[in-house]
Amino acid sequence: MSKYGQRRHCHVTHKRANMTSAAVQESNRNMPDMVLQSARSFDEIPGPRSYPVIGGLVHIFPGGQFHGMHPNDKQSLCQEMYGNIYKEVLVPGMEFVHIFDPVDIEKVFRGDQEFPVRQAFFTLDFYNRKYNKQQGLLTSQGENWHRIRKNVQQKMLRPKAVTAYLPEQTIVADELLEHVRKLKDDNSEVADLRPEFDKYAAECVGVVCFNKRLQAFDDDPDSEAANFIKAVDTIMYILSTKYTALHLEEMEKADDEADGEHGDLIPYLLSKTSLSQEDVLTVISEFIFAGVDTTSHHLSFMMYLLGKNPEVQEKLSEEIQANIPNKQQITSSILSKMSYLRAVTKETHRLLPVAPGNVRTSSQDLVLSGYHVPAGKNIVMHHTWIMLQDEHFKDALAFKPERWIRNNESHHNAHPFAMLPFGHGVRSCIGRRLAEQEAQIAIIKILQNFKVEYTGEPLQTVHSITVTPISKMRFRLTERYL
Ligand code: HEM
């Protein structure tokens, strides 16, 4: 079992890089000869032995050294055995370079070229091919990725566009609060808050994408929202296309006034960008796929850590009270003043990240940990491991938001690429501002009203596409009467 009693692993595709030999040669030319010559060869990178035909599968079969081991524990073991870089052939033709040093991670990201290649989300890629025949932001590469990204990102990343959703998100957070209040038992406990956060995240996505309230907090198990959440939980992608398609039908005559900032993202994308209806359908489906579970889990983790650390919770509650007296309307300028809230958010990403790591296909030749890694190799970056090492974050298993407060004596001195919860560069998470705003509003509302205590079983997580809490998350919520 890994530190924190969690089970984690990175999801990567099993596809080979599709770099042309011309591109590889071009990148070879960019590598200074001296650096390359002094590096050890790619073949010398250590790692589990690979055999003809079965590759490295022998290691995971019964009797193999990794048999029955959770992938995250396997990574810790491999780091111990091989150091900060190792290579692995799963089956012939599927080769991965694993890295554990932030200095190398920086080289990988800085080596990204105009269109960074991230071959991941292989299940989504599969469903796209099977049902939609269209790749979106998560799975497309090259010019196609760039065409979609440039059209969408100004409405997803521009601060003004994101804060335009604040009032609606606040209304949804108020509803979450009232709903949670109803769920409290005689002991002021709610048996499992996690599904309620799923509903909150689904409702918020509904507001942004469909300008539609899904009524997720209705208790009807057959309601549209309940089905929507079930869809997100199971084969999120396939069914979510249905909702997008319905909305597209409603919006057939795209509104000329659409600005993409008031729940009219779909008409905006249709009328003000060069994206086709099929592109828009894919992009919106991806937002549901990538935006519900991630934010809900992040919120669950933040609540868990606050519920287990009352002194941090009190400090945050004081900051909330000082900045938002009388529960006045939350605004972007108020949020920007709340440095402790931001620190709590970051510390949550460090201790309980939603994305277990990241992947890139190297765009150019690199020297990583002294070895030559040619362009076109699939590289897996293990942030989850790095973030829990004392070497990078002193007293790494402790929940200490102060380490993110500038000029605080506890401020961390970790490498800037040691923690990248939303990835890095032009291909980083497009929903990050929305996600953090959404989670922070919910936390503010909850702490304005309740003292929070985690009374559930020890937290267990598994890795599906995201790191997912699987234990029931029981909380005692005592009214604050502020
Ligand atoms: C706490 C919440 C979230 C976390 C931790 C998270 C994390 C990530 C990470 C690590 C990546 C890969 C970035 C890279 O390769 O450098 C990513 C990509 C992406 N995320 Fe998020 N995400 C979150 C919420 C969201 C939300 C709310 C949305 C949409 C509404 C979203 C949509 C996407 C999309 C579309 C991509 C692919 C971007 C591209 O390749 O151009 N994410 N996310």
User: Whats the size of the chain, residue-wise?
Assistant: 482
Cα separation, 431 vs 354, in Å, equals 13
State the pLDDT at residue 3: 41
User: Best mutation site among 153, 422, 463 for ligand 1, i.e. most ligand atoms within 8 A of its Cβ?
Assistant: 422
Centre of ligand 1 from the C-alpha of residue 220, in Å: 31
* Regions of the chain where pLDDT drops below 50: 1-25, 27-28, 235-240, 253
What are 387's two structure tokens?
């973030």
The pLDDT tens digits for 92-150 are 888 999 999 999 999 999 999 899 999 877 666 766 676 656 788 988 999 999 999 99
State the pLDDT at residue 281: 79
Centre of ligand 1 from the C-alpha of residue 221, in Å: 29
State the pLDDT at residue 241: 53
Nearest C-alpha to atom 6 of ligand 1 is from which residue? 422
Nearest C-alpha to atom 1 of ligand 1 is from which residue? 295
The 3-class secondary structure across the chain, one letter per residue, is CCHHHCCCCCCCCCCCCCCCHHHHHHHHHHCCHHHHHHCECHHHCCCCCCECCCECHHHCCCCCCCCCCCHHHHHHHHHHHHCCEEEEECCCCCEEEEECCHHHHHHHHHHCCCCCECCCCHHHHHHHHHHHCCCCCCCCCHHHHHHHHHHHHHHHHCHHHHHCCHHHHHHHHHHHHHHHHHHCCCCCEECCCHHHHHHHHHHHHHHHHHCCCCCCCCCCCCCHHHHHHHHHHCCHHHHHHHHHHHHHHHCCCCCCCCCCCCCCHHHHHHHHCCCCHHHHHHHHHHHHHHHHHHHHHHHHHHHHHHHHCHHHHHHHHHHHHHHCHHHCCCCHHHHHHCHHHHHHHHHHHHHCCCCCCEEEECCCCEEECCEEECCCCEEEECHHHHHCCCCCCCCCCCCCHHHHCCCCCCCCCCCCCCCCCCCCHHHCCCCHHHHHHHHHHHHHHHHHHEEEEECCCCCCEEECCCEEECCCCCEEEEECCC
Nearest C-alpha to atom 41 of ligand 1 is from which residue? 427
What are 408's two structure tokens?
């605080």
State the pLDDT at residue 128: 66
Cβ atoms 419, 109 nearer than 8 A: no
Handedness of CA 210, 213, 217, 222 (dihedral sign): negative
Tokens 């850590």, located at residue: 305
Site residues for ligand 1, CB cut-off 6 Å: 118, 137-138, 149, 286-287, 290-291, 294-295, 298, 354-355, 358, 421-424, 427-431, 434-435
Cα separation, 81 vs 75, in Å, equals 10
Question: What does pTM read for this prediction?
Answer: 0.87
Phi and psi at 372, nearest 5°, equal -80, 120
State the pLDDT at residue 5: 35
Centre of ligand 1 from the C-alpha of residue 428, in Å: 7
What are 90's two structure tokens?
């799963």
Q: Which atom of ligand 1 is nearest to the CA of 434?
A: 27
State the pLDDT at residue 255: 56
Cα separation, 110 vs 97, in Å, equals 17
State the pLDDT at residue 283: 85
State the pLDDT at residue 250: 57
- Beta strands 467-469 and 461-463 are antiparallel
Nearest C-alpha to atom 43 of ligand 1 is from which residue? 429
Q: Which atom of ligand 1 is nearest to the CA of 201?
A: 27
Cα separation, 429 vs 460, in Å, equals 25
Q: The domain at 3-479 falls in which architecture?
A: Orthogonal Bundle (1.10)
State the pLDDT at residue 248: 57
429 in a labelled binding site? yes
